[in-house]
Structure 1
């Protein structure tokens, strides 16, 4: 697949195939749907990074061939609402304003059912050495995300190893995409609630990372 990439965010592809398109560093105030949707039958990689506003990505659901969505350095929060995009396998949403991990991960899990690569570094909900998080918080963050998105192969810049996946399953348990193990989740949530002292999010089944209880 030719993405016509040059490794530079500030370059926009004008190739006739329109498989790759970047609007990065354009200081845009809204998603340029008029241009993007004319290429919906061929577009596979879309870069909307380094722009100012909080955009509504709802119409991106029309991009039925899109495989990679890049939205780094914008103003998206934990409550962003994506359209259902089963063709997307890579989502990059680094350096936004995501601070409630369970809410955000649930949205990703539901709207991108075939996701393999997720990068959300430099968000409050993704604690690491680079934003003041401890090693324990970093490991817990990874385990939670991996447990909720079983098909994930790469989280941030690190491959998901089978040993790590097994530990995530042991710690949090794997969710299923629809009904699945709801009763088991509820039982697990009740089991841990008395230990949480208000820190556990009901949807997280025990996640104690960077949560903002007011959100």
Structure 2
């Protein structure tokens, strides 16, 4: 079955390719739509490589949920991208993937990674403490991020994220092949500094009866 894509007449800058059993973006689709599409939905496929997105120069929103995308998949430069959904993919490590994502999408405002192994939550067996580590680390990498997963980014979270995870420090401690962020979290170097700061921040939020996640 040939894939033509679905573009509504009222929204000619939107393209939906969801549930098409795609392993990659067809060349015919790229040639036909890449010069004007701003919203692209490729969710619920079998795509592992996003290199073809380099031709979508005007892309501002990308929905790629439920694809077997891993941390080895790096996005090409998408300077106009503001919204990125990668929920329920196969991303198991944040470092150095998040750093590469920051370089590719410097203006990202909305990011959702729910359901990935690298995004611990109650639903995949993660603790609140692990979720907090994950959330603050991601926020620290994206100065313009306004919304992460299903929650807004608050100013308190942003300030604490930058205090805990200054990029030069993280890059000195975490080396490629060292086990990623989870290894960093369990190391003796991080326990004396990062955990104490997180506990202090968490305690402050409880004391002031505020919900960190909202």
Scaled to the shorter chain, the TM-score interval is 0.7 to 0.9
| Contact 1:37 1:63 (C-alpha < 8 Å) held by counterparts | no
How many angstroms apart in 1 are the aligned matches of 2:64 and 2:96?
A: 18
CA distance in structure 1 between the aligned counterparts of 2:171 and 2:65, rounded to whole angstroms: 34
Q: Which residue of 1 aligns with 2:36?
A: 42
* Structure 1 Cα separation of the partners of residues 74 and 61 of structure 2: 17
CA gap of 1:14–1:200, structure 2 versus 1, over 3 A, is same
Q: Is 2:74–2:97's contact at 8 Å kept on the other side of the alignment?
A: no
> Using the alignment, how far apart are the partners of 2:158 and 2:44 within structure 1?
32
User: Are residue 29 (structure 1) and residue 23 (structure 2) matched?
Assistant: yes
Q: 1:144: which partner in 2?
A: 137
Gaps of 5+ in 1: 1-10, 176-181, 191-197, 209-215
Q: Structure 2 length as normaliser, TM-score? A: 0.75
TM superposition shift of 1:13: 2.1
Matches for 1:1-215 after TM superposition, within 5 Å? 12-15=6-9, 18-54=12-48, 56-173=49-166, 175=167, 182=168, 189=173, 199-200=183-184, 206=190
CA distance in 2, matches of 1:186, 1:92: 26
* Matched residue SS, 2:37: coil
TM-aligned CA deviation for residue 101 of structure 1: 1.0
Q: C-alpha deviations, 1:98-142, integer Å up to 9, x for none?
A: 000122211211111111111010000000111111000011100
- Residue 197 of structure 2: aligned partner: none
Number of equivalences: 178
Contact 1:24 1:47 in 2 (8 A): yes
TM-score, normalised to structure 1, is 0.75
